[in-house]
Amino acid sequence: MFGRFAARKGMKRMKNSIDQKEFAAIVAGILDADPNVQSYSVTDKGVTLSVCASVRREKVNAFLDFDDHGEITGRFSYAQSEADAQSPREIGSRISDEIQNMRKL
């Protein structure tokens, strides 16, 4: 290719996605360090977790879905038991940021 779409010498291309092993390691690193996370399990491209909500200290169950058309790219959607709880969305954003960083390597 020529012009602005040509690959520049020495530039790294970002990976399209990460694999499931890398995903599981990222999730474990973030959730093991969070004192509000009571329990979690990692599926192929998702995370089911129970977290103690910071406002009322109530247990919130959530599912974070990182399946982006069959790949793990950092984009995610989520469902949770408490509509006003911010913790699951914030956790998902931290995982997403780390996935994006991993894709840059």
Which tokens sit at 71? Answer: 């790949």
Name which residue leads in pLDDT, 6 or 18.
18
φ/ψ (deg, to 5) at 97: -60, -40
Question: Taking 90 as the threshold, does the pLDDT of residue 29 lie above it?
Answer: yes
Mean pLDDT of all residues in 45-61: 86
The pTM of this model reads 0.82
- For residue range 76-97, list pLDDT tens digits in order: 999 998 877 788 999 999 999 9
Spatial distance between the Cα atoms of 73 and 22, rounded to a whole number of angstroms: 12
User: Are the C-beta atoms of residues 40 and 48 closer than 8 Å to each other?
Assistant: yes
Question: Taking 90 as the threshold, does the pLDDT of residue 105 lie above it?
Answer: no
Among residues 8, 4, 26, the alpha carbon closest in space to that of 73 is found at 26
**Annotated domain spans of the chain:** 12-104
What CATH class has 12-104? alpha beta
